[in-house]
Amino acid sequence: MFRKKGRLLAHVLTAVLMLSFVGCGEKNPGTPTGQGQAETANLTGSGSSFVYPLLNQQIEEYRKGNSNITINYQSSGSGAGIKQVSEQTIDFGATDGPMTDEQLKATKGGQLLHIPLTLGAVAVTYNVPNAPKELKIAPTVLADIFLGKITNWNDQQIANDNPGVSLPDSKITVAHRSDGSGTTYIFSDYLSSISPEWLSKVGKGTSLNWPAGLGGKGNAGVAGVIQQTSGSIGYLELAYAVQNNLPYAMMKNKEGKWVPPSLQTTSAAAAAATIPDDMRVSIVNAPGADAYPIAGFSWALIYKDQTDKAKGTALVNFINWSIHDGQALSEGLHYAKLPASLVSREEEMLKSITFQGEPLIK
Domain end residue (candidates: 272, 307, 334): 272
Confirm whether 34 is domain-assigned: no
Number of domains in the chain: 2
Residue 213 belongs to domain spanning: 121-272
- Is residue 2 scored above 50 in pLDDT? no
Distances (CA, A) of 341 to 97, 178, 274, 287, 338: 22, 36, 12, 20, 8
Q: Are residues 175 and 259 in the same domain?
A: yes
Q: Are residues 248 and 337 in the same domain?
A: no
- Between CA 248 and CA 220, with CA 139 as vertex, the angle to 5 degrees is 35
Q: Are residues 127 and 175 in the same domain?
A: yes
- In order, the DSSP letters of 201-217 are HT--SSS---SS-EEES
Q: What is the pLDDT of residues 301-315, one digit of tens each?
A: 999 999 999 999 999
For residue 293, the tally of other CB atoms under 10 A from its CB is 26
Q: What is the pLDDT of residues 232-250, one digit of tens each?
A: 999 999 999 999 999 999 9
Q: What is the pLDDT of residues 58-106, one digit of tens each?
A: 999 999 999 999 999 999 999 999 999 999 999 999 999 999 999 999 9
- Is residue 22 scored above 80 in pLDDT? no
Q: What is the pLDDT of residues 148-183, one digit of tens each?
A: 999 999 999 999 999 999 999 999 999 999 999 999
Pick the residue with more confidence: 344 or 8? 344
Identify the weakest region by mean pLDDT among 29-33, 136-140, 222-226.
29-33
- Is residue 32 scored above 70 in pLDDT? no
Question: Could you tell me where the beta strands, DSSP code E, fall in 56-202?
Answer: 69-74, 92-95, 112-127, 136-137, 173-177
Q: Are residues 189 and 178 in the same domain?
A: yes
At residue 18, the pLDDT reads: 35
At residue 234, the pLDDT reads: 98
Confirm whether 36 is domain-assigned: no
- Is residue 3 scored above 80 in pLDDT? no
- Is residue 320 scored above 90 in pLDDT? yes
- Is residue 283 scored above 50 in pLDDT? yes
Q: Do 120 and 332 contact (CB within 8 A), yes or no?
A: no
Domain end residue (candidates: 206, 240, 272): 272
Confidence of residue 38 (pLDDT cuts 50, 70, 90): low
At residue 88, the pLDDT reads: 97
DSSP letter for 258, please.
Answer: E
Confidence of residue 362 (pLDDT cuts 50, 70, 90): confident
Q: Are residues 174 and 155 in the same domain?
A: yes
Q: Are residues 228 and 151 in the same domain?
A: yes
β pairing state of 305-306 and 92-95: unpaired
The whole-chain average pLDDT of the chain stands at 90
- Give the DSSP H or E segment for 296: strand 295-303
